[in-house]
């Protein structure tokens, strides 16, 4: 029974201790009124990856340089993940297009086919292999515990003696 409690505790701790997903964006857009290249950047911290359309406003989770809002679109332009960088000065939104897996894949992603150059760095997305490793470890613990109990029952001569 102790093993069961410890295994459940380990699962709860592993579920509670997870890394936030960090999006770091840097780019440049051409201002619609002046045509001047203007820097755009933000850092967004979320508890899980963006998997559907979402809008974020500046605050504790979103720190940005001159933005009104940041929009994440999962299929705004077919086959792309798109970031809309909303600026308050001219109430415009500048769009940056990335590969369709950019929002939920760790790494550096460069903007696709647009005049607005940008780089999106994603880190902290949980890897499926880590989840499978945790689950397989718990399964191994239960398997070993069951085998050890069966051996104790066999050697003791009492089939119910080692059950806990």
Is 150 contained in some domain? yes
Q: pTM of the entire structure?
A: 0.66
Task: Kindly state whether residues 26 and 88 are assigned to the same domain.
Answer: yes
If one counts every other C-beta atom within 10 angstroms of the C-beta of residue 121, the result is: 14
Task: Kindly state whether residues 26 and 7 are assigned to the same domain.
Answer: no
Task: Kindly state whether residues 40 and 115 are assigned to the same domain.
Answer: yes
- Dist. CA 115–CA 93, nearest whole Å: 14
Task: Kindly state whether residues 152 and 131 are assigned to the same domain.
Answer: yes
pLDDT one-digit tens code per residue, 61-117: 999 988 999 999 998 888 899 999 998 876 889 999 999 999 999 999 999 976 668
pLDDT one-digit tens code per residue, 10-60: 544 444 445 799 999 999 988 888 888 889 999 999 999 999 999 999 999
Is 163 contained in some domain? no
Domain with 117, as residue range(s), is 22-121
Domain total in the chain = 2
Task: Kindly state whether residues 115 and 38 are assigned to the same domain.
Answer: yes
């Amino acid at each position: 029974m102790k093993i069961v409690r410890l295994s459940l505790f380990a699962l709860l701790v592993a579920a509670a201790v997870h890394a936030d997903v960090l999006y770091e964006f840097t780019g440049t857009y051409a201002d619609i009124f002046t045509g001047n290249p203007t820097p755009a950047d933000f850092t967004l911290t979320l508890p899980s990856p963006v998997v559907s359309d979402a809008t974020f406003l500046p605050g504790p989770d979103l720190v940005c340089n001159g933005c009104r809002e940041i929009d994440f679109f999962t299929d705004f332009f077919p086959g792309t993940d798109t970031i809309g960088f909303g600026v308050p000065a001219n109430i415009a939104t500048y769009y940056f297009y990335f590969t369709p897996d950019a929002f939920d894949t760790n790494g550096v992603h460069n903007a696709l086919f647009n005049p607005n150059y940008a780089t999106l760095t994603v880190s902290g997305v949980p890897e499926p292999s880590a989840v499978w490793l945790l689950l397989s470890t718990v399964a191994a613990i239960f398997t070993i515990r069951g085998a050890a109990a069966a051996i104790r029952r066999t050697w003791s001569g009492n089939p119910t003696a080692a059950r806990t």
